[in-house]
Structure 1
């Protein structure tokens, strides 16, 4: 039976995890049938909420899935960082729900304080720990954050350290390095993404995770799985089922979308974002000298009589 709770209760700490939250099969027709996003990490300096707000404003859907770690409760325990762009993201999501579009909020490990309240509805926002998405072709997809499968991966203590404390250091370096790149008129580049594809143990961890999630979904009778958690966007076949990872809005700014024919694809928003293009264009243009300053400079250059 569905529950309805006071919103203030959502901020109490909880680690409870329960079962399937139901499914949705939409029938109306905006731009996309379904959109899946995850790992936004609102409440942190590395969250690229301004790009997500732009994405949500630009891309319309019949059903929105928030696949975990939308808020970063872990980081907010030691101090909350809040930017006005975070409010824009929340307003866009609330606006979608108010217009009748179902929003499924699947809890993650960084917002695990919400897991206790799974199977709770807030108008058209459905808080669940996992759910089932039925595609336009009738395929059934398990939608889950994915941290539940991490225990079966081969992850050393060193790699866990890199994934937690080390990751924060990498993102700090990312911010400094990319400020320099933007000033030079270059695009975003991620240290963390580079290491994931160049360190053998990191690549093994990602492979093990993808296989574990895919096999878990297959054993439960699903045709595919949509997850997040590892900040590594992917769309591939594993164990004869469809494996989709939505990526993140900290590094890659990616989303998974389904069209009205049941086809899925990843969108790398930084490649389409007008915000990113305008930022790079402004930094690459030579600075204009004000007319008054230019005249002053010209007078200084003239020889004195």
Structure 2
């Protein structure tokens, strides 16, 4: 396919298949335009928590699963590291499903010889580890933010405005207030030091970033609910953060409904 890029390794996390917020359309588009020798799924690919509450599995979820299985059949090595939302797979370390390996965590050696600890990261989230009920309550609040996000996104599209995630913004304000992100990054980097590696690649907190933390290269892959990001390793070991909103140019905005124009005039 034209415009296809090939990498040594691609890292994806927090797709949340089964959630109404999962951007399966963008992920499928990303997978069509990006190939890799190895794809590592860094947890929360399937959202078992939401599926337990109410079953939601549209065709887009099937399409993502089939796309990954097709890549595995064609020779791509795919490793699935479960997270807290798909923790049911943690009972099957070392198993293979359709050519996809399941592992609790792994050490990835990059093309430049650097070694990275790869894990989802929920074991370092105090809320998830010590207070499961609070974690579920937080998950429900997150669902509410996603519903608001869908409505705002629809309005912004009609107005010809670029995508902006209310849920990501709201979450970031709360996390900053309690210094959660910084503390999470610190403890994950400490775990990398205990494992005598050069860096760590994780997901879980939906906050895509690559930065050095006192000698540890900390990488968070982000998610496919808000940021739509992946981390790709080039053949020389260089890591690249990719934010994917498709190759298709944004169409001209459709006419703004009269009621929205009236609301804007009244504001």
Q: If the length of structure 2 is used for normalisation, what is the TM-score?
A: 0.87
CA distance in 2, matches of 1:285, 1:149: 45
Provide the residue aligned with 1:130 in structure 2: 105
Measured in 2, the distance between the counterparts of 1:169 and 1:265 equals 32
Distance 2:105 2:175 in 1: 31
Query: 1:162 and 1:55, CA in 2 relative to 1: closer, same or farther beyond 3 A?
Result: same
Q: What residue is the counterpart of 1:44 in the other structure? A: 19
- Partner-residue secondary structure (3-state), 1:274: coil
User: Helix, strand or coil: the match of 1:60?
Assistant: strand
Matched with 1:98 is: 73
| Structure-1 residue corresponding to 2:120 | 145
Residues 71-86 of structure 1: pairs in structure 2 closer than 5 A: 71-86=46-61
- Give unmatched runs, 5+ long, in structure 2: 257-267
- 1:194 is aligned to 2:172: no
The residue that corresponds to 1:4 in the other structure is: none
Measure, in 2, the Cα distance between the counterparts of 1:162 and 1:180.
Answer: 28
- Rounded to whole Å, the distance in 1 between the matches of 2:185 and 2:131 is 17
On the 8 A contact 2:175/2:181 being kept in 1, the answer is no
Cα deviations by residue, 1:210-240 (Å, 9 ceiling, x for unpaired) = 1110111111111110000000001001131
Q: Unpaired runs of 5+ in structure 1?
A: 1-29, 288-305
Q: Is the 8 A contact 1:100 1:124 kept in 2?
A: no
- Residue 224 of structure 2 aligns to a residue whose secondary structure is coil
Q: Once superposed, which parts of structure 1, at least 4 consecutive aligned residues long, lie more than 4 Å away?
A: 159-162, 200-203
How far apart, CA to CA, are the structure 2 residues paired with 1:196 and 1:203?
A: 11
CA deviations on 1:14-68 (whole Å, 9 max, x unpaired) are: xxxxxxxxxxxxxxxx711100000000011100001000000101111001100
What residue number does 2:247 align with?
A: 274
Matched, 1:265 2:224: no
Larger radius of gyration: 1
Structure 1 residues 26-37: aligned runs within 5 Å: 31-37=6-12
Deviates more, 1:119-128 or 1:191-200: 191-200
For residue 123 of structure 1, report the CA deviation from its aligned partner.
5.3
1:188 match: secondary structure: coil
Q: Which moved more, 1:96-105 or 1:119-128?
A: 119-128
Q: How many residues align?
A: 252
1:252 aligns with 2:227: yes
Number of the residue aligned with 2:149: 174
Which residue does 1:64 correspond to in 2?
39
User: Structure 1 length as normaliser, TM-score?
Assistant: 0.77
- Contact (CA 8 Å) 1:132, 1:141: kept in 2 or not? yes
User: Which segment drifts farther, 193-202 or 235-244?
Assistant: 193-202
Alpha carbons of structure 1 residues 202 and 70: separation in structure 2 relative to 1, 3 Å: farther
Residues 1:141 and 1:170: Cα distance change in structure 2 (over 3 Å): same
